Amino acid sequence: MTLVYRRALDSDLDICAEIRGATRDNSIDKDTLIAIGVTTEIWSPKLENDTYIGMVALDKGEVIAYCYGNTQTGEVLVLAVLPEYEGHGVGKKLLFLVVDCLFSQGLAELWLAAGVNSNIRAYGFYRHVGWLPTG
């Protein structure tokens, strides 16, 4: 499997929403994303003015995973990987790429919100790659 990683584009937002609904754990469907304000209309300007930065992974030209961060707050907003690509380091690579982008903006500290349910794989994933719980 040869993946390509690149900066997320405005045109990736719709497929990213579909991927978010297809994740194995903690999936959120497109209607729920719209209800909480995760829409192309809201996110596009934030990508254009670099308030949000994102990276996507592509397999054969198709987006299969993504990660976004907020350059103003240092928050890693979301990381989502299609189930068939889990366990191949895709999420880890995307997370590190976004973390590098956020630190390059001069941020001294980054954060993310993740549940405390140890049955959800994100719980162990973020700890495995070096993130620490803070409260």
- Pinpoint the alpha helices (H) of 5-120: 13-22, 30-35, 40-48, 90-104
**Three-class secondary structure of residue 105 per DSSP:** coil
What domains are there in the chain, each with its CATH number?
A: 3-76+87-128 (3.40.630.30)
**CA gyration radius, the chain:** 14
Checking DSSP bridges between strand 62-70 and strand 3-7, what pairing results, if any? unpaired
Distance of CA 59 to the CA centre of its chain: 17
pLDDT value at residue 16: 95
Burial of 88 (0-12, 13-18, 19+ CB in 10 A): middle
pLDDT value at residue 130: 84
Instruction: Report the C-alpha gap between 29 and 117 in whole angstroms.
Output: 20
pLDDT value at residue 14: 94
From first to last of its 135 residues, the chain has per-residue pLDDT tens of 799 999 999 999 999 999 999 998 888 888 899 898 888 899 999 999 999 999 999 999 999 999 999 999 999 999 999 999 999 999 999 999 999 999 999 999 999 988 777 777 787 888 888 888 886
pLDDT value at residue 124: 82
**Three-class secondary structure of residue 118 per DSSP:** coil
CA distances in angstroms from 68 to 10, 81, 125, listed in the order given:
12, 12, 17
Cβ contact 25:81 at 8 Å = no
pLDDT value at residue 12: 96
